[in-house]
Amino acid sequence: MFASKAVARQHFLSARTARPAGDLLPSARSLPAVQSARRIALYVSMGPEPKTGALIDWLLSGNHEVLLPILYADNDLGWGIAPGAADLVPGRLGLSEPRTDLGSAAISTADLVICPALAVAHDGVRLGRGGGSYDRALTRVTTGTPIWAAVYDSEVVDALPSDPHDHLVHAALTPTGLLPLG
């Protein structure tokens, strides 16, 4: 167990910089929950995160709607429909975002949510970057909608520090597969 979230974040961020980036498309495209979802909330990966670009393109070519986050000044998230990677605009903190904001409640219309994480524990605790953006957004997800954290296999661990406001996830999506949690 890590002594604090800050220690855990530093550990996982350091480990990511030493690894080649993995792509989520090969493991995600065959999953029934992905294939049947009409609207999927996802994110545009950055740096050493598990890559989402090919997955977004594949979803859009298969007539799925993809919701992408828009980071507000208060670190809450709005959501917009992905028009395609070439049509995204620069957002806060170097993020790529859709032009049109459907508001923070739009995530409640998703059939599946795939969110970024630095690590997840087998009990569903998700470790984010510390801004609280996704913990707030995930409270708006409709009950029963699957929530998956995108991580690498080595980032699925036995335990992580958590706080009462942390929102649990149902599974870890890695470049090699889907691991149910909780």
- Domain ranges in the chain? 21-112+140-152+160-180
Query: Which pLDDT band, with edges at 50, 70 and 90, does 83 fall under?
Result: confident
pLDDT at 1 over 90: no
pLDDT at 84 over 70: no
Q: Which of 65-79, 83-97, 103-117 has the lowest mean pLDDT?
A: 83-97
pLDDT at 66 over 60: yes
φ/ψ of 19, rounded to 5, equals -115, 150
Annotated binding site for substrate: 44, 49
> Topology of 21-112+140-152+160-180 in CATH?
Rossmann fold (3.40.50)
Strands 39-41 and 119-121: unpaired
CA angle (114, 144, 118) in 5-degree steps: 30
Which of 47, 176, 24 minimizes the C-alpha distance to 112?
24
Strands 89-90 and 96-97: antiparallel
Higher-confidence residue of 154 and 88: namely 154
* Residue 86: per-residue pLDDT: 55
Average pLDDT over residues 127-154: 96
19-40 burial, b if ≥16 CB within 10 A, otherwise e? eeebebbebbeebebbeebebb
- Predicted model pTM: 0.93
**Alpha-carbon separation of residue 96 from 3, 87, 112, 143, 156 (angstroms):** 33, 9, 20, 28, 27
Annotated binding site for ATP: 126-134
Q: How many CA atoms lie within 13 A of 126 on its CB side?
A: 29
Strands 65-71 and 39-41: parallel
pLDDT at 44 over 70: yes
Q: What share of the chain is helix, strand, coil (3-state, %, to 5)?
A: 30, 25, 45
**Alpha-carbon separation of residue 74 from 45, 71, 132 (angstroms):** 21, 8, 10
Annotated binding site: 44, 49, 126-134
Which of 121, 160, 116, 161 minimizes the C-alpha distance to 134?
116
Query: Which pLDDT band, with edges at 50, 70 and 90, does 85 fall under?
Result: low
